[in-house]
Structure 1
Amino acid sequence: MAATTLTGDKATCARSLALMATGTVEEMAEVYRADATNREAKDEPEATRGTGPEATHATALWLREAYSDLHWEVHDAVQEGELVVLHTTMSGRQTGPFTVYDEDAAVKVVFPPRGRSFAVTQTHWFRMREGLIAEHWANRDDQGQGEQLGWTPPSPVYLVQMLLARRRARATEAAAPHR
């Protein structure tokens, strides 16, 4: 299903995924409410944990840091009242470190890049208000993505690379001005 065949709220939601790969804050403001919440931000950097287009754009930048050639193919779109659901495949190539954060937004795990490509099924859920996205959450195949990228199961060498990458990320975090 091409996103161009979608209309209304479904098209807005599909556009929001396309903007994750290339969009600006200004473009995010065209699809997200100022008080929009991303329930998935709990494992993301601190800047993503706020609300609105700025936080959503921070999520996009976080993903772009790790993955090039990001793309979401929309297979199905369903709407029931204010709820829109998109069944998608996310694809890309890991060209940078992927960092996971803990509940305090501190670096938890870093997966160094291996240059591998991936394609995984995801379902994105959006709550709409007045034609804009008010809330987002997702179901993702993180296990499949980890296997395709060589994170799971990790080799002993990759485990050491992960530990060194986490040490570098924490040192960078400690040297940054405090929040």
Structure 2
Amino acid sequence: MGMDATDLAHGLFQILATGDPALAAEVVHEDFRNREAAVSPTACALPGPAGVLASGAWMRSAFSDLSFPVLGIARNDEQVWVRLRMQGRHTGPFVRFRDGALDQAIPPTGRDIDFEQIHVLDLRDGKVVGHEAVRDDIAMLGQLGVFPPAPDTALRMLAWRVTGRAKRAATRVSALAVEAAGGPQDNPGQTR
């Protein structure tokens, strides 16, 4: 007996919060595509459960106590719309990417994040096959002191970039994402 659309939606965000590979195999279709992977490590764009597991590892590396309380769900046979909050504490570097390269590394601030998102999940064969989101990233960056820039946060980000800590953080976070996705064998073009 498979999960219904509501269970699939809750399951997807539980995977992101916990990194549960068994749940990922049950919830995520092998053809899964994440249209939001552009700002994350390249492993997060892998198809299927591997990309979701990589995305969760990337987010949990920056935010401890990560959770996604669901506020509302609307669904039909092919899609689920989920309104939720993303909550956590910024205890690790939050590294954002552009075209697979370091774009921005926000050093840990210890600040809490709590902001609303809407996710659209495409369903096929009783699993989640696609994801896109409407997120209030500006609210999150404001909660982290990045936008508008708080002087202490801006100086720490600059220091991290100048000293190479930002690049090292990007390398570490990318490696965590690859490991969560099942290792280099799942990434075309990479060798062990």
- Give the TM interval when normalised to the shorter protein: 0.7 to 0.9
Q: Which amino acid aligns with 1:169?
A: A
Q: 2:16 aligns with which of 7, 20, 27?
A: 20
Structure showing greater relative contact order (alpha-carbon pairs closer than 8 Å, 6 or more residues apart)? 2
Counterparts of 1:33 and 1:42, CA distance in 2: 20
Q: 1:72 aligns with which of 62, 65, 68?
A: 68
Alignment of 1:126-137 (within 5 A): 126-137=121-132
Matched positions, count: 171
Indicate the percent of aligned positions where both proteins have the same amino acid.
Answer: 35
8 Å contact from structure 2 (residues 32, 49) kept in 1: yes
Alignment of 1:77-156 (within 5 A): 77-103=73-99, 105-156=100-151
CA displacement at 1:171 relative to structure 2: 4.8
Counterparts of 1:94 and 1:171, CA distance in 2: 18
**RMSD value, Cα:** 2.1
Alignment of 1:25-40 (within 5 A): 25-40=21-36
Counterparts of 2:144 and 2:61, CA distance in 1: 15
CA displacement at 1:136 relative to structure 2: 0.5
Counterparts of 1:138 and 1:40, CA distance in 2: 7
Any gaps of 5 or more consecutive residues in structure 2? 176-183
8 Å contact from structure 2 (residues 15, 21) kept in 1: no
Counterparts of 2:107 and 2:160, CA distance in 1: 7
In structure 1, the residue corresponding to 2:31 is in which secondary structure?
A: strand
